[in-house]
């Protein structure tokens, strides 16, 4: 059975993948950022890659229990400090950019 957090994570990934693909194609680019999800014990790891390459990086971590979003500190662990709630990002996907700059604290 799908949890609420899992539903929102999948919805956000689908929204961003569609938006970034359309934006790239409309601007004449053939390569664009795409996201996928890896489920861990405590977090959903959202990974990023270019559509036509094999290299990957971590885009963000989403805590399964709370839906809190974290900037990655490494491939395996999030940085300290909640950056967003998954509900906010799903309702306002325009906050997300392909580079993850919205996850930095200013």
pLDDT 10s digits, 62-97: 999 999 999 999 999 999 999 999 999 999 999 999
Q: Closest Cα partner for 76 from 34, 55, 96, 47?
A: 47
User: What confidence tier does 46 reach under pLDDT thresholds 50, 70, 90?
Assistant: very high
% residues pLDDT > 70 (the chain): 100
Whether residue 52 has pLDDT greater than 80: no
Could you tell me which residues are beta bridge partners of residue 49? 34
Tell me which of 50 and 8 has the higher pLDDT: 8
Two structure tokens written together for 20:
């970034």
Mean pLDDT computed over 6-30:
95
Break the chain into its structural domains and give their ranges.
Answer: 4-97
Whether residue 53 has pLDDT greater than 80: no
Q: Are 68 and 43 in contact (CB under 8 A)?
A: no
pTM: 0.92
């Amino acid at each position: 059975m799908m949890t609420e957090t899992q539903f929102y994570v999948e919805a956000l990934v689908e929204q961003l993948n569609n938006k970034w693909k359309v934006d790239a194609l409309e601007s004449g680019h053939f390569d664009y950022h795409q996201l996928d999800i890896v489920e861990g014990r405590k977090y959903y790891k959202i990974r990023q890659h270019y559509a036509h390459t094999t290299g990957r990086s971590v885009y963000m971590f989403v805590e399964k229990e709370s839906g809190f979003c974290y900037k990655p500190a490494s491939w395996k662990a999030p940085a300290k400090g909640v950056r967003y709630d998954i509900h906010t990002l799903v309702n306002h996907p325009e906050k997300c950019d392909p580079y993850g700059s919205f996850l930095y604290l200013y």
